[in-house]
Structure 1
């Protein structure tokens, strides 16, 4: 198959498409993680974390 005058194998096109999907999915995941972490932890979450840390120190 020819793309812009150069011979391109179907496997190369599939690899490029897979790479683009992977890059897009990774970018979306990072964006979603940042967006979900914009709010500071609640008091209850901090207390639960401290309780967990204390329980691990005792073991």
Structure 2
């Protein structure tokens, strides 16, 4: 389950980055692509940060 979610998050970041590139070329709205890219990177960082956290006894 861990590798599948990691790969899916990386794919989500790549799609969001591609949408942002399209927005910079004025093909896609910039107001939609910027939050999508931010949320995708934020979720990826949160996932990487919580993987090996000690949960307690």
Same fold (TM over 0.5): no
Q: Which category describes the TM-score, using the shorter chain as reference length?
A: 0.3 to 0.5
User: Which structure has the greater CA radius of gyration?
Assistant: 1
Task: Looking at secondary structure, tell me which structure has more strand per residue.
Answer: 1
Per residue, is there more helix in 1 or in 2? 2
* Greater relative CO (CA pairs within 8 A, separation 6+): 2
